[in-house]
Amino acid sequence: MAEITIPSELSEKLRTAKKVVALTGAGISAESGLATFRDAQTGLWAKYRPEELATPQAFIDNPELVWNWYAWRRELAGQAKPNPGHAALVEMAAKVPEFLLVTQNIDGLHQQAGSRHVIELHGNIHRTKRFDDNQIVTEWEETGEVPPRCPATNSLLRPDVVWFGENLPPGALAQAAIAAAECDIFFSIGTSSVVFPAAGLIGETLRNGGLTVEINPGETPHSSAVSFVLRGPAGSVLPALVQQTWP
């Protein structure tokens, strides 16, 4: 691939920025081999749309189907390794005085890469909770029943992820929104920017006159509003950005 040239004006602003927020979506994990929601599903799952499986109603209607879909995705996420895009954000965090990483991803790859203080807006696929009252459960007996049940209350278990129509974890969105409003630069990385409220965070920065940067090989609804568009895969663009900003 041709070398990616980062606009020098962006590098200069980033070098002197005090507060930076990076919001990531499924696209940053695409180069780790995890499909985005916009990619077609494969094999057994090709006939389902993710949006139809990731809802409380889908779980009520067919808990076995939804549990198995997440079990399959958990296995893929467990096998995946962070890529140079995740690593570059760890480096950026070390250079910027105040850096906040906000992710819509549920795969845990940012933490695996070494990122600290990650706000997970949509939960984490590696955690499990009770369907009845959202309490985290770490141990249960594998009786063969799918989904398994909580040993203490008999509630069905489900992944600790945010489904369409559900609220985000208390405090997470508020903290991200304050940081987005106060930051000098907001990066929107590998997200289609159509799933709200996460897609609205960049608006906080735009309203306050902060710099906004989109990193995505494709167009999004925010492309025309941001200060800089860096077209390309995050696994190449982010390392180039860090290298050219702090050579």
Task: Give the footprint of ligand NAD on this chain (CB under 6 A).
Answer: 25-31, 34, 36-38, 104-107, 122, 190-192, 195, 216-218, 220, 233-235
Provide the pairing of β-strand 185-189 with 211-215: parallel
* Shortest distance in whole angstroms from residue 98 CB to ligand NAD: 24
H or E stretch covering 87? helix 84-95
- For residues 13 and 65, the answer to whether their CB atoms sit within 8 Å is no
* Shortest distance in whole angstroms from residue 217 CB to ligand NAD: 5
Q: CB-wise, 27 or 82, nearer to ligand NAD?
A: 27
* Shortest distance in whole angstroms from residue 48 CB to ligand NAD: 13
Q: CB-wise, 155 or 240, nearer to ligand NAD?
A: 240
Q: CB-wise, 188 or 205, nearer to ligand NAD?
A: 188
* Shortest distance in whole angstroms from residue 81 CB to ligand NAD: 13
Q: CB-wise, 109 or 150, nearer to ligand NAD?
A: 109
Is 19 buried (19+), middle (13-18) or exposed (0-12) by CB count in 10 A? middle
Is 42 buried (19+), middle (13-18) or exposed (0-12) by CB count in 10 A? exposed
Distance of alpha carbon 193 from alpha carbon 199, whole angstroms: 5
- H helices of 1-83, in order, are 8-16, 50-53, 56-61, 63-79
* Shortest distance in whole angstroms from residue 152 CB to ligand NAD: 28
| Alpha carbon distance, N-terminus to C-terminus of the chain | 20
* The pair of three-digit structure tokens given for residue 128, joined into one six-digit string: 């499990």
The set of catalytic residues is 122
Q: CB-wise, 147 or 233, nearer to ligand NAD?
A: 233
Distance of alpha carbon 123 from alpha carbon 115, whole angstroms: 16
